[in-house]
Amino acid sequence: MLVGEGLGDLGVVESPLVVGVRPPHGVSSAESGCAPRFAAQLGILGCGRGGECVSAVTSCPAASAISLGLRPRHCHPCLHHVEVIVVTTKEVQKVLNSETKMKLDIVCIPDDADMGTVDSLRHIHQKIKTDVLVLSCDLITDVSLHEVVDLFRAHDATLSMLMKKAHEPTEVVPGQKGKTKPVEQRDFIGVDDTGKRLLFMANEADLDEELVIKRSILQKHPRMHIRTGLVDAHLYCLKKYVVDFLVENRSFTSIRSELIPYLVRKQFSSPESLQQGQDNKEREQKRKDQKALDIYSFIKEDSMLEFGSGKSCWNNHRGDMNEAFPGGKVRCYVHIMKGGLCYRVNTLGLYIEANRQVRSRVNLACGTRARVCVHRDHFVTHTPPVGSDNIMGSSTQVGEKTSIKHSVIGSSCTIKDKVKITNCIVMNSVTVEEGCSLQNSVLCHNAVIEKGADIKDCLIGSGQRLEPKGEQREDGLRRSNLQKGLLLFQSIWL
């Protein structure tokens, strides 16, 4: 649980888990004005089973990430009373219960059920009483969440989401040969001139030779910026009616690849014409049953709000005096992070990268805290050989003449004398015997490294024991270990 430990200490992550959002009380987007009333009702931590995770190895990291998020020092100022719903499996629940201080409502899903995020939402929809913020458990970020939520409130949006620039992998991922990065399908994201309104979204896989943009969109937003190097952070603010819609419309299985593109598309189909076609619609509904369900039929009219916006001279665009939110009733917004930390830990590579980044930001983020983030129970037998860019868990013992650089060490580890650790992630209760050299590797819980091991670019599974003098280079786990290791991972899979 080291990353979590580290971040928990940091409070880096300004409680990214938040959240439940009430509809805006006024059209004003002034954050401070809204904050006191923003006693958010509900939050969800959609902790997926990691269906997108690349390998079973990431299960551990995922757990870490959870704990990382759940130990926030300060909640975001806006969100004083946040109710968080965590959807997870039993094993994680145990961990969470022991570790967190936050008020959580944990919903368990059966271990064997393969539920996506949408299924999870459907599962808990009775608990969702207001607008909701959904995020996945593998998100590590220091974005100030109000950016996303403010967009949502200021524009009375149907959806607001977070995106960031994709990062390039810099170093070799242990256990993988070379930099064989899977060729990902690029997403084409079209935003308007302000960079906030989400106008267009398509995946490379769905397009043939060309990208098609409708004229009507360009007439309303004549300048569209199409960007490709963006990654969805899987953090969504959704209106309550979207959840209702999902509950009714069983054909959606994924937020990312189905719901979001659907909503983005629906922005530019006008509700008026829908009403004209209502008769047809009804017929269709009978025919196609659920398939014809439309998001518009779920939009709830708030007469008070409408009355208010009619009286106000404020509107969400410049250049004319039209009503506050001209055009369709569905509006999607996106906040694109310019800098800062944002990782979705869904591959081992990203997990390592995230650890690295968190480490390097420790000092920046903690401000008044000690420069070296060493837990107070940390026990060093002799001169502290620990560099400034490490994170150490509690009750870890470090022997003499040992040097640790650029690494994260978990709690209750024992590191003996003359050990060299560079660029490593060492989880809890790991024992490293004398004279070992660890480089660019990941050691999972309870691993034992016997004397004199020389390890580079390796991935050591939970509870593995490396024989003395064994030399491991470049090839990941030893063949026998590899398989065993993987099996072990699966058995402790969250």
Partner 1 sequence: MAARGSAGKRGAGSGGSRGPDPQEEPPPPLQAVLVADSFNRRFFPISKDRPRALLPLANVAMIDYTLEFLTATGVEETFVFCCWKSAEIKEHLQKSKWCRRTSPNTLRFVTSDLYRSLGDVLRDVDAKSLVRSDFILVSGDVVSNINVSKALEEHRLRRKQDKNVSVMTMIFKESSPGHRARCQEDDIILAMDGATNRVLHYQRTQGLKRFRFPMSLFQSNIEEVQVRHDLLDCRISICSPQVAELFTDNFDYQTLDDFVRGLLVNEEVLGNQIHMHATAEEYGAHVSNLLMYEAVCSDIIRRWVYPMTPEMNFTDDKTQSYTHSRHNIYRGAEVSLGQGSVLEENVLIGQGTVIGSKCTIINSVIGQNCKIGDKVILDRAFLWNDVRIADDVEIRQSIICNEADVKKGVKLNSHCVLTSLVVVGPNITLPEGTVISLHPPDEEEDDDDQFSDDSGVNKEESKAKLKGYNEAEVGAEGRGYLWKAEDENEVEVEEEEEQRQSLWGPALDLGEESETESDLSLGSEQPDSRYVSPQLDDVKVFQNEVLGTLQRGEEENVSCDNLVLEINSLKYAYNIGMKEVMQVLSKVVLEFPLRQLDTETDPQRYCVLLIPLLKNWTPVFKNYIKRASDHLDALYAIEEFFLEHEKLCTSLAKVLMTFYQLEILAEEMILSWFSRQDTSEKGRQLRKNQRLQKFIQWLEEAEEESSEGDQD
Instruction: Please identify, using beta-carbon distances, which residue of 71 and 266 lies nearer to partner 1.
Output: 266
Closest separation between CB of residue 287 and partner 1, Å? 11
Whole-angstrom CA distances from 120 to 116, 158, 253, 360 are 6, 20, 10, 35
Closest separation between CB of residue 360 and partner 1, Å? 25
Residue 67 near residue 99 (C-beta atoms within 8 A): yes
**Residues within the interface to partner 1 (CB under 8 A):** 186, 188, 190, 204, 207, 209-216, 218-220, 222-229, 265, 268-270, 272-274, 277, 280-281, 284, 292, 294, 319
The CB density around residue 288, as the number of other CB atoms within 10 Å, is: 11
The dihedral region occupied by 285, where left means phi > 0, alpha psi between -120 and 50, and beta the remainder, is: alpha
Closest separation between CB of residue 169 and partner 1, Å? 17
Whole-angstrom CA distances from 392 to 358, 389, 396, 404 are 13, 10, 7, 10
- Rg, the chain, Cα only: 25
Instruction: Please identify, using beta-carbon distances, which residue of 39 and 292 lies nearer to partner 1.
Output: 292
Closest separation between CB of residue 37 and partner 1, Å? 36
Residue 163 near residue 269 (C-beta atoms within 8 A): no
Non-local CB neighbours of 120 within 8 Å, separated by 6+ positions: 44, 46, 48, 87, 109
Closest separation between CB of residue 94 and partner 1, Å? 43
Closest separation between CB of residue 396 and partner 1, Å? 43
The CB density around residue 257, as the number of other CB atoms within 10 Å, is: 16
Instruction: Please identify, using beta-carbon distances, which residue of 277 and 340 lies nearer to partner 1.
Output: 277
Instruction: Please identify, using beta-carbon distances, which residue of 292 and 380 lies nearer to partner 1.
Output: 292
Instruction: Please identify, using beta-carbon distances, which residue of 268 and 325 lies nearer to partner 1.
Output: 268
- Up-side HSE of residue 350: CA atoms within 13 Å toward CB? 23
Q: From CA 14, how far away is CA 145, in angstroms rounded?
A: 8
Q: From CA 399, how far away is CA 307, in angstroms rounded?
A: 71
Closest separation between CB of residue 15 and partner 1, Å? 31
Closest separation between CB of residue 242 and partner 1, Å? 18
Instruction: Please identify, using beta-carbon distances, which residue of 165 and 401 lies nearer to partner 1.
Output: 165
Whole-angstrom CA distances from 100 to 52, 355, 409 are 26, 21, 21
Closest separation between CB of residue 251 and partner 1, Å? 11
Instruction: Please identify, using beta-carbon distances, which residue of 276 and 381 lies nearer to partner 1.
Output: 276
Burial class of 408 by CB neighbour count within 10 A (0 to 12, 13 to 18, 19+): buried
Closest separation between CB of residue 196 and partner 1, Å? 15
Residue 410 near residue 394 (C-beta atoms within 8 A): no
Closest separation between CB of residue 293 and partner 1, Å? 11
Q: What residues pair up with 157 in beta bridges, in sequence order? A: none
Instruction: Please identify, using beta-carbon distances, which residue of 219 and 303 lies nearer to partner 1.
Output: 219
Q: From CA 177, how far away is CA 361, in angstroms rounded?
A: 29
Question: What is the bridge-based pairing of β-strands 408-409 and 425-426?
Answer: parallel
Q: What residues pair up with 110 in beta bridges, in sequence order? A: none
Instruction: Please identify, using beta-carbon distances, which residue of 228 and 290 lies nearer to partner 1.
Output: 228
Instruction: Please identify, using beta-carbon distances, which residue of 73 and 317 lies nearer to partner 1.
Output: 317
Non-local CB neighbours of 12 within 8 Å, separated by 6+ positions: 142, 341, 358, 361, 362, 365, 366
Instruction: Please identify, using beta-carbon distances, which residue of 167 and 369 lies nearer to partner 1.
Output: 167
